[in-house]
Chains A and B, each alone.
Chain A
Amino acid sequence: MKLIDNTKTPLNVLDSIGVEDEGPVKGYVHSLESFGSVDGPGIRFVAFLQGCRMRCQYCHNPDTWNIGVGTEMTADELLDNAERYRAFWGETGGLTCSGGESLVQIDFLLDLFTKAKARGISTCLDTSGGPFTRDEPWFSKFKELMKVTDISLVDIKHINSAEHKKLTGIGNENILDMIQWMSANGCDMWIRHVLVPERTDYDVYLKQLGDYIKTLNNVQKVEVLPYHTLGVKKYHELGITYPLEGIEPPTADRVKNAEQLLHTADYTGWKTWKPAN
């Protein structure tokens, strides 16, 4: 598989997803993981959907970037697979869609989560918000999606838009707009932030981010995710340059510092959080 296929832009691929056949919407799935315990509340079945238009420097799944490739699956196929693990989920676990960037395949996602909720499966969206727009028909689909999403893990890559652009290739205006909308519309969230030395690990930005999160409603948990180097191997295998070559994971002290600046201890909703039925 060619890693970055520039002949297909996100938008023209989106146009074609789900309308090629008369049958049910199909998703492009990168991989499935039966045991996710750090991908939302409880134990979760994680579907890594293919495709992302951000190019985060520390992305550890560059093999999920390409859009319009991967294993084609219908929502029911995916849910049949996931449901075999129901006994492990308890009251809080369920299905998480991650990526890539799940919102790239919003039609499929909407179908998937709607059907999941109908089956009594709790839904969790892991997103960086990149595809968010108030343009129609996308915005309406997003609003529908939020009705069938129990909780979202929103990854804020950088609070400063210019820095965000350097780090990911795009600015963060639409992402913060999405978070604003979710805050105003009762959507439960975990906010996550990857701490990368020389990129995001600056007190001034961390403080700014901490202040910003404080203004939000419905935040159940705030997590600092220390940057790790597990993804480097994939870059080497794929033959692409790793942009953070030589940068080491942050020290325990810096992680603690970030946790303090983001006031992570203040957000305790996750401890008692249960999905809506």
Chain B
Amino acid sequence: MKQLDKTDVKTYWEGFNGGDWQDEINVRDFIQHNLTQYNGDESFLAGPTEATTILNNQVLNLKKQERAAGGVLDADTKVVATVTSHGPGYLNKDLEKIVGLQTDKPFKRAFMPFGGIRMAEDALKSYGYTPDPEMHKIFTEYHKTHNQGVFDVYTPDMRKARHYKIVTGLPDAYARGRIVADFPRIAIYGIDALMAAKKADFDNIGDGEMTDDVIRLREQVSDQYRALNDMKKMAASYGFDISKPATTAQEAVQWIYFGYLAAVKTQNGAAMSVGRIDTTIDAFIERDMKRGLLDESQAQELIDHLVMKLRMVRFIRTEEYNSLFSGDPIWATLSLGGVGFDGRHHITKTAFRFLKTLDNMGAAPEPNITLLWDEKLPEGFKRYATEVSISSSTIQYENDSLMRTEWGTDYYGIACCVSAQPIKDGVQFFGARANLAKAILYAINGGMDEIGETQVGPETEPITSDVIDYDEFMKKFDVQAGWLADVYVNALNAIQYMHDKYYYESAQLALKDTHLDYTFATGISGFSHAVDSISAIKYGKVHPIRDEKGVAIDFKAENDDYPRYGNNDDRADDIAKWLIKYFYNKMNTHHLYHGAKLSTSVLTITSNVVYGKNTGTTPNGRQKGEPFSPGANPAYGAEKNGALASLMSTAKIPYHYATDGISNTFGVTPNTLGHDDETRKDTLVHMIDGYMENNGMHLNINVFNKETLIDAQKHPEEYPTLTVRVSGYCVYFADLTKEQQDDVIARTFFEEM
């Protein structure tokens, strides 16, 4: 990388400790040299300022109006969203310390057709808006979209797999998202330095031999360069010049937010992560405080106002999308904490300040707060975090030591809900999920879909015996799972190719290195049901009950006490371990776009409900249409040995094979955690420590009584901000569909014996 021109930016960096970061774009190095650890408790924190309270009430009121309007308050129908498409928008210009909206008005949703014009139009129509006919003409006759590109190349097999929902949620009509941009670069370096670095990279791509790869990358970097320039223009429309490094903490937060705003103005992604900004912002706050420019209340105000903006990000989506990912999530995932390779924890006062926003402005699902947990985090922070969990159920915990070891960097962030990603130079190609519970049924039914009663998978002899023979089943499962891996991975090859071509994330990728490591993300749904079904067949003597067409529509296990996943019983848990490795290896036999490395996940977000709806009765006794358990959670009712036994089963799934995340959603009543606040906090801290020590990867923690949820379902108006964690993210309970609310209520709650 070209040496930075220090003469230009040196004065901006006074008050920071120097290092390699001054010679090259290197945020991690900046953090390493400018980290102020904080080991105390939360007593230093400040409450909301008057401006914060006024603005927050305005936002809550808009949210209320939005809900009353059926989910969307206002939407653009003719302006195609770009970084610079809209003039400045404000809540209240005089009170906002951090400014910038996606469109010219708060809560007004942008028109984003590049993923697919039909999707964009359907989304508008479903909320009563009329799409502009001119836009329709442009995006069907003159300009191709990502969606059109993918369907131009899909094979009949891929269409069929998609239609019968053995693969679902593919990002073939919406943005793949899951890119964690290195937003702090803007605050530390300013846009000009980033543009100069991209220019230098561009000059160095290829030697003039125009291979496909060289052409693609040169075009992409040109797009990135243009996006950086657009960010400057967009900031200028708000009256800020972001060409140079931030000179104050307020500027630093604003610069970072402008980068994020450019991302959410252009991409309607299935996760628009904020990444890891806490330590950088903290360094700027510390510098201002040393200079006497900022007090605690003002520092908190900056964080509150940034978080308020993150809570206001909106996308308009179709009903189909909402049924998969309910509650209007944008996954503004914010990673806090973690420990560096040098052993220092990264808890700063600003990590506390981000948690404090939940107190200052009430609970909310966004940003999706993720604590990168390590046993070495200071006790004061651990206890404060669990206190916030108990009062708001808005935090997820992820195993920092596991992730930094696996990914080889301590400067990674959480993309989407759960997946880790190196911020400097890693990108994930998101790829939804394959339904392994359905593949089990295909094995039994000879590739016949049990709901559509149509041949979908390869035609094999169905299993016709009275009791399913384990060896016969496994042989047939191998055929169906192999086919599924093939069709799934190759559909994703088409999707990622077209996404790069028609809906390239130039703004976010402008804020990462030019030469990137790609991971090819896949996912598994129906995991616990597949595991328990295999166990039932192996240990339980399963009798299928067939309809007149010979399709197995129900099952009866002769020995119903067969081992089930979720009880820390190796007989079942070994099947779980085997299944993940097995399916990973099956997928890994295929070509992967852009030389990406295969990764997979066991996380479902709220799509467990839809996947379950489209899947017949499984041999473990789960009835047709019943929701799957979320993520890597054991099946409903399978857990017989308490919460820790359940957690231990999940913890055994090898992260090395599922580096996109192994999600566990844990619901518990306050009285189960302890009879008083101190005990409850202690219990949670020990629980998280223990889970992580056993290599557990991810934990959503919900603390409330079932009765509260039942009451909230009946009287949503009384619980406008009741927030629950679902697999990998947070939602307002009131924004879930009735089915999903029922699912959350039905999920295992660990209650006092």
A43 with B641: CB separation less than 8 A = no
Closest to B688 in A: A88
A191 to B284, CA, bound (A): 53
Decide if B92 is an interface residue (CB 8 Å cutoff).
no
A38 with B671: CB separation less than 8 A = yes
Decide if A181 is an interface residue (CB 8 Å cutoff).
no
A34/B643 contact (C-beta < 8 A), A46-B753, A87-B689, A88-B687 known = yes
Residues of B within 8 A of A90 (CB): 682, 685-686, 689-690
A84 with B643: CB separation less than 8 A = no
A32 with B641: CB separation less than 8 A = yes
Residues of B within 8 A of A36 (CB): 642, 753
A43 with B687: CB separation less than 8 A = yes
Decide if B694 is an interface residue (CB 8 Å cutoff).
yes
Decide if B716 is an interface residue (CB 8 Å cutoff).
no
A43/B648 contact (C-beta < 8 A), A35-B643, A38-B671, A84-B568 known = no
Contact count band on B: 20 to 34
CB of B131, distance to nearest CB on chain A (Å): 52
CB of B389, distance to nearest CB on chain A (Å): 15
Instruction: List the one stretch of B183-191, B465-473, B672-680 in contact with chain A.
Output: B672-680
Decide if B712 is an interface residue (CB 8 Å cutoff).
no
A45 to B641, CA, bound (A): 10
Decide if A248 is an interface residue (CB 8 Å cutoff).
no
Residues of A within 8 A of B644 (CB): 34-35, 43, 45, 85, 88
A34 with B641: CB separation less than 8 A = yes
Which of A37, A46, A87 contacts B672 (CB under 8 A)?
Answer: A37
Which of B568, B648, B678, B686 contacts A271 (CB under 8 A)?
Answer: B678
- Give the total number of A-B pairs whose CB atoms are below 8 A apart: 71
Decide if A5 is an interface residue (CB 8 Å cutoff).
no
Give the number of chain A interface residues (Cβ < 8 Å). Answer: 22
Decide if A113 is an interface residue (CB 8 Å cutoff).
no
A87 with B693: CB separation less than 8 A = yes
B689 with A42: CB separation less than 8 A = no
Decide if B752 is an interface residue (CB 8 Å cutoff).
yes
Decide if B683 is an interface residue (CB 8 Å cutoff).
yes
Residues of B within 8 A of A45 (CB): 644
A88 with B690: CB separation less than 8 A = yes
CB of B682, distance to nearest CB on chain A (Å): 7
Residues of B within 8 A of A88 (CB): 644, 686-687, 689-691
Decide if A223 is an interface residue (CB 8 Å cutoff).
yes
A37 to B679, CA, bound (A): 8
Decide if B384 is an interface residue (CB 8 Å cutoff).
no
Closest to A86 in B: B690
- Chain B positions 236 through 271: 1 when the CB is less than 8 Å from some CB of chain A, otherwise 0: 000000000000000000000000000000000000
A90 to B673, CA, bound (A): 15
Which of A33, A48, A85, A271 contacts B690 (CB under 8 A)?
Answer: A85
Decide if B750 is an interface residue (CB 8 Å cutoff).
yes
- Chain B positions 658 through 683: 1 when the CB is less than 8 Å from some CB of chain A, otherwise 0: 00000000000001111100110011
Residues of A within 8 A of B673 (CB): 37
Closest to B641 in A: A34
Closest to B753 in A: A33
Decide if A100 is an interface residue (CB 8 Å cutoff).
no
A89 with B641: CB separation less than 8 A = no
A35/B750 contact (C-beta < 8 A), A43-B683, A85-B690 known = yes
A89 to B644, CA, bound (A): 11
Decide if A27 is an interface residue (CB 8 Å cutoff).
no
CB contacts under 8 Å to B, within A88-119, are 88-90, 93
CB of A41, distance to nearest CB on chain B (Å): 9
A38 with B642: CB separation less than 8 A = no
B686 with A42: CB separation less than 8 A = yes
Closest to B696 in A: A87
A90 to B686, CA, bound (A): 6
Residues of A within 8 A of B693 (CB): 87
A38 with B752: CB separation less than 8 A = yes
A89 to B693, CA, bound (A): 11
CB of B55, distance to nearest CB on chain A (Å): 37
Name, among A32, A36, A46, A48, the residue most crowded by chain B CB atoms within 10 Å (CB to CB).
A36
Closest to B686 in A: A90
Residues of A within 8 A of B674 (CB): 37-38
- Chain A positions 156 through 183: 1 when the CB is less than 8 Å from some CB of chain B, otherwise 0: 0000000000000000000000000000
Decide if B645 is an interface residue (CB 8 Å cutoff).
yes
A89/B690 contact (C-beta < 8 A), A37-B679, A38-B675 known = yes
A89 with B568: CB separation less than 8 A = no
B641 with A33: CB separation less than 8 A = yes
B689 with A223: CB separation less than 8 A = no
A267 to B690, CA, bound (A): 29
CB of B12, distance to nearest CB on chain A (Å): 46
B686 with A34: CB separation less than 8 A = no
Which of B671, B678, B690, B694 contacts A43 (CB under 8 A)?
Answer: B690
Name, among A33, A43, A48, the residue most crowded by chain B CB atoms within 10 Å (CB to CB).
A43
Residues of A within 8 A of B687 (CB): 35, 43, 88
Residues of A within 8 A of B679 (CB): 37-38
A271 to B677, CA, bound (A): 12
CB contacts under 8 Å to B, within A177-224, are 223
B690 with A87: CB separation less than 8 A = yes
Residues of A within 8 A of B645 (CB): 34-35
Residues of B within 8 A of A223 (CB): 675
Closest to B567 in A: A34
Which of B643, B682, B685, B694 contacts A87 (CB under 8 A)?
Answer: B694
Residues of B within 8 A of A271 (CB): 678
B686 with A93: CB separation less than 8 A = yes
Residues of A within 8 A of B694 (CB): 87
- Chain A positions 6 through 39: 1 when the CB is less than 8 Å from some CB of chain B, otherwise 0: 0000000000000000000000000011111110
Residues of A within 8 A of B671 (CB): 38
Closest to B684 in A: A37
A115 to B515, CA, bound (A): 58
Residues of A within 8 A of B678 (CB): 271
CB of B374, distance to nearest CB on chain A (Å): 14
Residues of A within 8 A of B685 (CB): 90
- Chain A positions 28 through 68: 1 when the CB is less than 8 Å from some CB of chain B, otherwise 0: 00001111111000110110100000000000000000000
Inter-chain pairs besides A37-B672, A93-B686, 13 sampled, C-beta below 8 Å? A32-B641, A33-B641, A33-B642, A34-B644, A36-B753, A37-B683, A38-B672, A38-B674, A48-B753, A84-B648, A88-B687, A230-B752, A271-B678
A-B contact pairs, 19 of them (CB 8 A): A32-B641, A33-B641, A34-B642, A34-B646, A35-B644, A35-B645, A37-B673, A37-B683, A38-B675, A38-B679, A42-B686, A43-B687, A84-B648, A85-B644, A87-B689, A88-B690, A90-B689, A223-B675, A230-B752
Interface residue ranges, B against A (CB under 8 Å):
568, 641-646, 648, 671-675, 678-679, 682-683, 685-687, 689-691, 693-694, 750, 752-753
Q: A-B pairs with the 9 shortest C-beta distances? A: A88-B690, A34-B644, A35-B643, A34-B642, A87-B693, A87-B690, A34-B645, A37-B683, A33-B642
Interface residue ranges, A against B (CB under 8 Å):
32-38, 42-43, 45-46, 48, 84-85, 87-90, 93, 223, 230, 271
